[in-house]
Amino acid sequence: MPEQPGIDAYAAYLPAYALDDNRLDPTTPARAGGPARSVAGHDEDAVTMAVEALRHVAAATPAGRHLLLATTNAPYEAKTSAGVAHEALGLDPGVTALDLRGHRAGASALDLALRGVATAALADVRTTRPGAPDELAQGDAAAAFVGGRRAAVLLARAGHTAEVLDRWRLPGERHDRVWDERFTAEILVAAGLHTAHRALAEASLDTVDQVVVSSSNPRAAAALRKALGGATALRTASGGATALRTASGGAGQDAAVERATGFTGAAHPGLLLAAALDEAQPGQTILLLSATEGADAFVLRVGDGVRAARGGPSVRAQLAARQRVGYGRYLRWRGLLDVQGPARPAAPAPAAPPMHRRAGWKYRLEGSRCDACGRVTTPPGRVCASCGIVGAGTATGKVSLRERTARVVSVTRDHLTTMPEPEVAIVVADVDGGGRLSAYATDVAPGDVTVGMAMTPVFRRLWTTDSIHNYFWKLRPAPADAAPGKDTADGQ
């Protein structure tokens, strides 16, 4: 472990959709400035969102390090979901893929990344019962961290475990059960303040530039932000007190992000830390406090390379680019509204042998480059699709198309899809540098897909049949062709 661990690179991912109105029969527009939740698309889950965050920072993960996926809602039980992300990223087989489960798993994965022993992905999809009081207060997101020193240096950390029945779910259940937050808030606030004081004392600091608070209990989060953002005393175990002040005058950015996304489960401390690093200046200090089933506190000093350390767009930019989704559409995506689908058989389930044999194509989107003519064949094969030379599919001719732009040459609109949408677009696109892809379009209305549109590959879940998730790559509009802020609420 390095002498002074920290963060070398980080990335955050927010889905393309937001829900700000959960009324079944709205007669008036949603209140402007009200809370909203980030919404994963029907083809997203914790694995696909983890891949989206990790693809910006995890390529150089060396053998011997761990790849961690922290979530409360893994797509598989018993099977390691992190293994799917490992394969999609094309990491070295010597990187061990592991799942961490539970609301506290996000802070634990971040801790291990800060120690330099793991690359961590924190990802969650949160679902409540329709109309639940906290429906708009839960959200979906992912964040990824690689250990090092470029973005931030860890000055101190502290942890505190408290067995408390706050949020829980039994095997086979979809929705969290929640105890009275007034009771659990007292426990989490006490644990949080005690842990924050210990971390600050270890760092020899009595002021920080920014306080970031994450908690599964909204009442506890608000109380901790109020206490740590002002001059409230932190009581030590011996009864002494010390005052913590934020040099910038208080907290607030983390609460604003949370109001726009909801509590994103295991991903939440990572998402809020990524948002803080996006705006922080080199040399500033950050106190990150996660109060869930106890508390974890981290004191960080922002590094000189923080701007170069971010992978992908900032949290602020992703919030600004989201599309509004209607409540009926959201319920269909989550399987909370049972509607009649098309009169056609369910999509076939993938089988283990071909998935393993074709892993390079299915998970890593690898084509084969011909040694004779230089053209790329997709899917990869032993015979070049262009010149007919045998041997184009050798290992030395593999080329990944994951990070390349593709241009649409044909569009088909499927009105009999088994997906929870009335129609989807299927495109044929030519990839820059060679290769042709036939794929579903995502994160865009089918009618908005046009010939010539620039699109980029994104890892998604096509469908689930016989308890097997069928993952593959779709195409979404490249940033220049996307339509930020477009309202899709009418597609209910």
Which pair of structure tokens corresponds to residue 470?
Answer: 């069928």
Mean pLDDT of 127-151: 95
Summarised one tens digit per residue, pLDDT across range 76-86 is: 999 999 999 99
Q: How many CB atoms lie within 10 A of CB 344?
A: 9
End-to-end CA distance of the chain: 51
Q: How many CB atoms lie within 10 A of CB 188?
A: 27
Q: What is the DSSP string of 191-256?
A: HHHHHHHHHHHHTT-SEESEEEEEESSHHHHHHHHHHHHTTPEEEPTTS-EEE-EETTS---HHHH
Summarised one tens digit per residue, pLDDT across range 214-240 is: 999 999 999 999 999 843 333 333 333
pLDDT at 432 over 90: yes
β-strand partners of 471: 461
Q: What's the mean per-residue pLDDT of the chain? A: 89
DSSP state of 337: S
DSSP state of 310: B
Q: How confident is the model at residue 486 (pLDDT cuts 50, 70, 90)?
A: very low
Asked if 68 and 58 count as a contact pair (C-beta separation under 8 A), the reply is: no
Q: How confident is the model at residue 440 (pLDDT cuts 50, 70, 90)?
A: very high
pLDDT at 249 over 50: no
Q: What pLDDT score does 245 carry?
A: 43
Asked if 439 and 453 count as a contact pair (C-beta separation under 8 A), the reply is: no
Please report, for residues 73, 298, 307, 462, the alpha-carbon distance to residue 189 in angstroms, rounded to integers and kept in the order given.
Answer: 25, 16, 33, 42
Considering only CA atoms, which of 192, 174, 182 is closest in space to residue 138? 174
β-strand partners of 246: 208
Summarised one tens digit per residue, pLDDT across range 35-86 is: 999 999 999 999 999 999 999 999 888 888 999 999 999 999 999 999 999 9
Q: What are phi and psi of 475, to 5 degrees?
A: -120, 135
Q: What pLDDT score does 3 carry?
A: 55
Mean pLDDT of 319-336: 94
Q: How confident is the model at residue 99 (pLDDT cuts 50, 70, 90)?
A: very high
User: Residue 277 and residue 328: Cα distance in Å, rounded?
Assistant: 36
Amino acid at 47: V
Mean pLDDT of 411-440: 94
Q: What pLDDT score does 114 carry?
A: 96
β-strand partners of 45: none
**Helices 218-229 and 181-202: crossing angle, nearest 10°?**
40
pLDDT at 194 over 90: yes
Mean pLDDT of 436-451: 96
- Tell me if residue 341 falls in helix, strand or coil: coil
Summarised one tens digit per residue, pLDDT across range 336-392 is: 998 887 878 888 889 999 999 999 999 999 999 888 888 898 999 888 888 888 875
Q: What domains sit in the chain, N to C, each tagged with a CATH number?
A: 6-334 (3.40.47.10), 358-477 (2.40.50.840)
Q: How confident is the model at residue 485 (pLDDT cuts 50, 70, 90)?
A: very low
What is the strand order of the sheet 294-302 is part of? 96-101, 66-71, 118-124, 141-147, 6-13, 152-161, 294-302, 285-291, 210-215
Q: What pLDDT score does 396 carry?
A: 58
Considering only CA atoms, which of 398, 392, 403, 406 is closest in space to residue 367? 398
Summarised one tens digit per residue, pLDDT across range 103-112 is: 999 999 999 9
User: Residue 443 and residue 287: Cα distance in Å, rounded?
Assistant: 35
Q: How confident is the model at residue 491 (pLDDT cuts 50, 70, 90)?
A: very low
Mean pLDDT of 273-279: 97
CB-based contacts of 434, cutoff 8 Å, min separation 6:
367, 369, 374, 375, 376, 399
pLDDT at 451 over 70: yes
Mean pLDDT of 140-159: 96
Mean pLDDT of 239-263: 65
Say if residue 448 is exposed, middle or buried (CB neighbours under 10 Å; 0-12, 13-18, 19+): middle
